[in-house]
Structure 1
């Protein structure tokens, strides 16, 4: 495995992989004196400013970590059902835990509105405090694991479904063989998770971040092309005469979506979907043409789908996106996070030619 050297941040390890600095929910249970001291310290700091902070201090003093996990899960999931799924418990238990906590604190943390649980003004302050406690607990968890001679613990990776499914998931066995005590949690989706709230340990993004106190490393260039079904009888005609398939409007800012929008010239595409595999499969079945990553189209053909081919008149399309690995600076010495960062770098190196459309 390749060791990770962090540009501008000395870590005492020689390696070719380079990070640079850019400025700009899984909840782990943790107990013990270290967390208790951390909670007390956070209380002393936060209680000096306002009534809300004082309420947060009371919250920290009275709540146990299991209750804090319930509060955060409801806040992030928006419903008891979502919180229950994240916590691996039933909805009744979640509701009972919250009711017990609200009685003990004499504070209404959430209000029911349109089927969702919305934080009250006082509840929002308590949730913010719980997030700080969670961050400290997670930091201590990582420090405890880092005191061992081998990488240990769960590492969360925020990435798109394309990256998680086609690049990382097929290579998990290599990580398991090298670091058997490291586990993973993929956080997939197009929405950016928050490093500031400790919602993830690492992230792979298809653009270099412009702000944020993060360590970043470029992983690869991902080439895009316009594909059609090789067996499509319409393939001999011009692409303009065929139906276009593209992303939903919320992803209209993506370079590949902007390219297709220019081709549509105001017309409505046959299909909109934020599921890349759905778009790829629809193209393979002859539904139309789409701007897809070249390596995903190639994998679809290998997987037994009807063959895909690049639309001839679009073969000179020069469209690519950069994949970047993001890490918090204070995570650079955590063995488990560093080990997973190395693994991600190796995974992208293995598929680099395919990502660039060179296979």
Structure 2
């Protein structure tokens, strides 16, 4: 013999041994009989030896094949086990993963970085849920969450990713020096709200909202100052940072995972992606 049997030959040989005919082997493999016969002919030509004798219209292993058949059977079993294992891993790494966070994280960090996740994990469908509230992991409302600050944990696994810095920003055009826009009064205890009150005590509040994107548009429209995450404020060319206000407030950012779903390969893959993308945009 001047060649070895390849991995892709094992399946055909095994099916011929099991079925006894080329037609049966072809049926099991989902190919036509001519294709199966051609493949067997190429294998025997490479080996320069016959693997089957044709007896009573059935293919019987030759003495040569019977000698090596136990090894070939073991090799075929290993190949099948490996293929099944890879198939299970692919199935487990596929599917939909639900990620809950505030609009800032989805809009500024995760959304623009989706290409890297899709390239590495094309079978994962990610559901970016814009949530201002803390979702319930016990209620299976999300698989992963990115939160600004610690909230109800629901037995979730938690990892701190870094700090989100804030600064005061002023519109470049039509600035109204005595006006600010701010979060609703129910958010008065947030670090950025406390910092805004300290920086601009007694300032006239032109508008309030519980959503950053609304505050930004309101500030630009009325010429008011607004407290923003630096990731957001620096990227908006309509605003300039008020000198000396960077880092007057910080929010710790955490990634949470469902205690059971977090073990699934697809969820782990998305968690690693979130950790990398969010951490590199934050301060330590």
TM-score by length of 1: 0.50
Shift of 1:187: 1.7
Aligned pairs, number: 198
Are 1:152 and 2:94 matched, yes or no? Answer: yes
Tell me the secondary structure at the aligned position of residue 154 of structure 1.
strand
| CA drift at 1:262 | 4.7
The correspondence for 2:187, drawn from 248, 251, 264, is 251
Matched, 1:270 2:170: no
- Secondary structure (helix, strand or coil) at the match of 1:299 reads coil
Corresponding residue to 1:327 among 251, 257, 263: 257
Task: Show the counterpart of 1:96.
Answer: none
**Alignment match of 1:348 (pick from 278, 281, 284):** 278
> How far apart in 2 are the matches of 1:266 and 1:310?
20
- Is 1:162 the counterpart of 2:92? The answer is no
The answer on 1:173 being equivalent to 2:115 is yes
Partners of 2:136 and 2:165 in 1: CA distance: 27
List gaps (5 residues or longer) in structure 1: 1-145, 235-240
Which among 218, 224, 231 is matched to residue 166 of structure 2?
224
The 3 A distance-change label for structure 1 pair 194 and 233 is closer
More displaced stretch, 151-160 vs 183-192: 183-192
Q: Name 1:97's counterpart in structure 2.
A: none
**Is this contact kept in 1: 2:175–2:224, CA < 8 A?**
no
* Correspondence 1:305-324 to 2 at 5 A: 306=238, 308-312=239-243, 314-315=244-245, 317-324=247-254
Q: Give, in angstroms, the shift of residue 266 of structure 1.
A: 6.5
Supply the RMSD in Å over aligned alpha carbons. 2.7
Alignment of 1:134-213 (within 5 A): 147-149=88-90, 151-209=93-151, 211-213=153-155
Gaps of 5+ in 2: 1-86
Distance 1:330 1:228 in 2: 45
* Deviations 1:204-238, CA, capped at 9 Å, x for gaps: 0001346542211111211001111234466xxxx
Could you tell me how far 1:300 is from its partner in structure 2? 1.3
Q: Partner residue of 2:225?
A: 289
Structure index of larger Rg: 2
SS in 2 for 1:270: strand
Instruction: Tell me, yes or no, if the aligned pair for 1:280 and 1:300 is still in contact at 8 Å.
Output: no
Please state whether the residue corresponding to 2:133 is helix, strand or coil. Answer: coil
SS in 2 for 1:244: strand
Q: Does the CA-based 8 Å contact 1:167-1:347 persist in structure 2? A: yes
For 1:157 and 1:177, how far apart are their aligned partners in 2? 18
Contact 2:234 2:241 in 1 (8 A): no
Distance (Å, rounded) in 2 between the aligned partners of 1:261 and 1:206? 20
- Show CA shifts across 1:279-335 (max 9, x none): 22333456211111011011112xxxx2x22223x4365311111000123234201
CA shift, 1:272, in A, is: 0.7
User: Matched residue of 1:157: which SS?
Assistant: strand
